[in-house]
Amino acid sequence: MKAFREELLQEMQSLRTVDCHSHTVRPGEYQEAAPLSLFGYSSYFDRTIDSVTGGSRPQLYAGCTTDEQRWERLKPVLAKARNVSYWRHHIVTHQGLFDLADDDLTDANWAAINATIHERTADPDWYRHVTEDICALQTQVRNIPWFEDWEPEYFTAILRMESALELQRQDVRESLEAHLDRSIGNLAEAKEALAELVAQYEARGALGIKLAHAYRRTLHSERVSAVEASATFDRGLRGLTLKQPAIKRLQDHIIFFLAGVCEEMGLVFDIHTGVQGNWGNVPDSNPLHLLPLIHAHPKVRFSLYHGGYPYSREMGMLAKHSPNVWLNLAWMFVVTMEGTRQSLSEWLDLVPGYRILGFGSDVGWPEMIYGHLVMARSCIADVLAEKAERDFLSRDAALDLARMMMRDNGMALYGA
Ligand SMILES: [Zn+2]
């Protein structure tokens, strides 16, 4: 089993991986921030810092003028929380990219790692080197905020759409009006504007849209008539304060409209499910809430993010019974390696392999893509080797699945 696990790892390392969900900073932004330091680049451990200290990373280091002082501030946080995956993600990254030989950061090694980070990230070719040479990414399916641009040599675009659910707000409406140079005087015009914006991005190569509304409201949505939604929208236009449930029902109408746009334009509909931030209302993120939307649009391909964790088992059944649902493991390995192993092992019993997307970095710094990729390959090799060992999965099928999850499925869905 150990030898086969190694074979699976080598197979994955030999591929050009498709990163099926990315927020990576753009090359120009990176050059402005470089060189980085141990305390200046981070990932989801920032949320753990918030959960431990009640404040952000900049607040943790406020008033510090030296890295020695910053290390002294970080140490008590690590003493409480270095067990979480969000921290171990940093360790894997430091080990692979910055020569950390130990299994954690300590008083004895942090300064040398900090110096190495500074030195390597000062190289103007470092960003390209990490993403292309070390991670060997074919492309990153990047979340593009409204009106922003991307570099096609690194990214494939997915247009982020939460603002579409806020068009009853004057500031959001005006930003769209200004961008398109058209006015929005009612709901029908708002929907025309949204379709025009999506079409603009589609013409430039975007392959889908994304909603991450589960951070703020329930994923549940249902069909709401244009008459009802228009009446609510008009009240918003007249400056009246909208209340729940009218706001949710207006948003539901827009969400169904967006699925229709995806159907017309052949776009993928990416939706955040599961895992939220601190104080998130966890049940809102249950992917089963999406059933009415998914059933109403059988021709739209939905890519559901983050394994739906902790509703991964439910999401496995959702995908088993919904041929238009792709399971996207973006973010999952840095959330929980063990949870991902268990979920993936069950999914492989349930869902045709071509609908499982094995990797989405979901981080800001290219270095953290590397750490996440190492964690992903390790978990996928664990699961596939075990399935071959005891669950009657052929070794040939297991090797195929490794290639499909890390590359082929992403290429097929996102046409990357
Ligand atoms: Zn994301």
CA 379, CA 313: separation in Å to the nearest integer? 17
Q: Of 190, 174, 208, 161, nearest to 357 (Cα)?
A: 208
Cα of 341 vs centre of ligand 1, distance in Å, is 20
Cα of 86 vs centre of ligand 1, distance in Å, is 15
What is the pTM (predicted TM-score) of this model?
Answer: 0.96
pLDDT tens digits, one per residue of 146-183: 999 999 999 999 999 999 999 999 999 999 999 999 99
Kindly list the distances between the CA atom of residue 134 and the CA atoms of 191, 348, 373, in Å, as whole numbers in the listed order. 43, 28, 10
pLDDT of residue 30: 97
The yes/no answer on whether domain 35-121 falls in CATH 3.40.720 is no
Cα of 170 vs centre of ligand 1, distance in Å, is 27
Residue-by-residue DSSP string for 245-270: THHHHHHHHHHHHHHHHHHHHT-EEE
Cα of 262 vs centre of ligand 1, distance in Å, is 20
Report residue 16's pLDDT band, with 50, 70 and 90 as the boundaries. very high
Report residue 43's pLDDT band, with 50, 70 and 90 as the boundaries. very high
pLDDT of residue 260: 98
Cα of 94 vs centre of ligand 1, distance in Å, is 22
The partner residues of 19 in beta bridges, in order of sequence, read 140
CA 206, CA 414: separation in Å to the nearest integer? 9
**Which fold is adopted by the domain 127-414?**
TIM Barrel (3.20.20)
Residues 6+ apart with CB under 8 A from 132: none
Please provide the average confidence, as pLDDT, over all residues in the chain: 97
Give, to the nearest 10 degrees, the angle between helix 85-97 and helix 45-53.
130
The partner residues of 123 in beta bridges, in order of sequence, read none
Residues 6+ apart with CB under 8 A from 228: 249, 253
Contact predicate 19/376, CB 8 Å: no
Cα of 306 vs centre of ligand 1, distance in Å, is 9
3-state secondary structure of 271: strand
User: What is the dihedral angle through the alpha carbons of 109, 115, 119, 122, rounded to the nearest 10 degrees?
Assistant: 120
pLDDT tens digits, one per residue of 107-123: 999 999 999 999 999 99
The tokens for 193 are 């504007």
- b/e per residue 87-104 (b: at least 16 CB within 10 A): bbbbbbbbbebbebeeee
User: What is the dihedral angle through the alpha carbons of 84, 87, 93, 94, rounded to the nearest 10 degrees?
Assistant: -130
- b/e per residue 345-358 (b: at least 16 CB within 10 A): bebbebbebebbbb
Cα of 198 vs centre of ligand 1, distance in Å, is 19
Residues 6+ apart with CB under 8 A from 241: none
Token look-up 């939460």 returns: 162
Contact predicate 219/290, CB 8 Å: yes
pLDDT of residue 415: 78
Which residues make up the CATH 1.10.2020 domain(s) of the chain?
35-121
pLDDT tens digits, one per residue of 265-313: 999 999 999 999 889 999 999 999 999 999 999 999 999 999 999 999 9
Cα of 22 vs centre of ligand 1, distance in Å, is 6
Residue 314, pLDDT above cutoff 80: yes
pLDDT of residue 86: 97
Residue 416, pLDDT above cutoff 80: no
CA 377, CA 134: separation in Å to the nearest integer? 14
Cα of 273 vs centre of ligand 1, distance in Å, is 10
Report residue 23's pLDDT band, with 50, 70 and 90 as the boundaries. very high
Cα of 36 vs centre of ligand 1, distance in Å, is 22
Cα of 364 vs centre of ligand 1, distance in Å, is 10
Which residues make up the CATH 3.20.20.140 domain(s) of the chain?
127-414
